[in-house]
Structure 1
């Protein structure tokens, strides 16, 4: 994939590129992780070169980065799996701990492993551009859908009175806003369930919302 456009934050107009990442980008991709997940987030959980090498070797179509100001400022990674919404999984098992060695070349679902954009570039809407690019990949490959589990960092504030499912429904109805789920809804993703113990994430109560986008060109 390769696309270019002029991104804007309402003030600046800046050329931007989304493309597949490769070995020459690994250092920049790790810098993006460092900027997105600063201490006390453990640095050993950032992408490492072995993981990135697996992404590029096993499923290059699912390895996307966004470039602005002459540097990589965001990325999005996916793999293909065949999954039912009811199938119990967590992030580590479904993505092979981020190594995607369980990638299924004929899998009907494009599963999102990770998406991140450097904080100082988020006002350009790059996350939404990356998501749209992955939708285009779904169509290009003939996959049935895109699926991924979104954090719900606002849930911890209401966990004493709402179940995770109730919280997701209220965000979906516009009664509440959540930094992640609201963004995914704006990108066209729809909730299809809640996965408990998906990730070590106290803000979300260790829950995640399964968020789907269906290929509109398939029945």
Structure 2
């Protein structure tokens, strides 16, 4: 599915499209209730659970993610599963939402970006030292490396054409729901940050802390495809 189609298909259900996944949070009172929410989601997915659903259980909420693992992308099947999960949870008195309201923050994904002159030379090091693996459908030369357990942030490599000693070479990308990016950027600026560039906003808005360390607040909007 295109980014726009994926977002439109599930947005009204409280799911958000983030970096090739659909994500939502289920607010609960106890960790036991969070586990129950995951059980309901698994049953709603049926035989597709193993190839599509990832869940994180914590006191206060369960976070659910859908992606067609073999394609490393969101497909129409994932959108269908999101509808089935939300309906099943609704029947149990639970709801799917991006995580606003009383939640500490919305659903999000964090990536680490490493600037490199020779990506094939540095990529194997980061793959090995982190215990990471190739992403599905990757060619293994310049693609991101990912945590096979889905716990740590993906690491991707940004091609440089010349050394840039005047700036940091590693930065964070914080992918947030498209309808919450402005608030996150405003909060960061109010907390002492500064705007470096919004030339590629809303896909990438570059901010920096008081000492010049950079971070990109990203969304699916404004990207090709």
- Per the TM superposition, whether the score is higher than 0.5 is no
Q: Which has the larger radius of gyration?
A: 2
Into which bin does the TM-score normalised by the smaller protein fall?
under 0.3
Name the structure where helix makes up a greater proportion of residues: 1
TM-score scaled by length of structure 1: 0.28
TM-score scaled by length of structure 2: 0.27
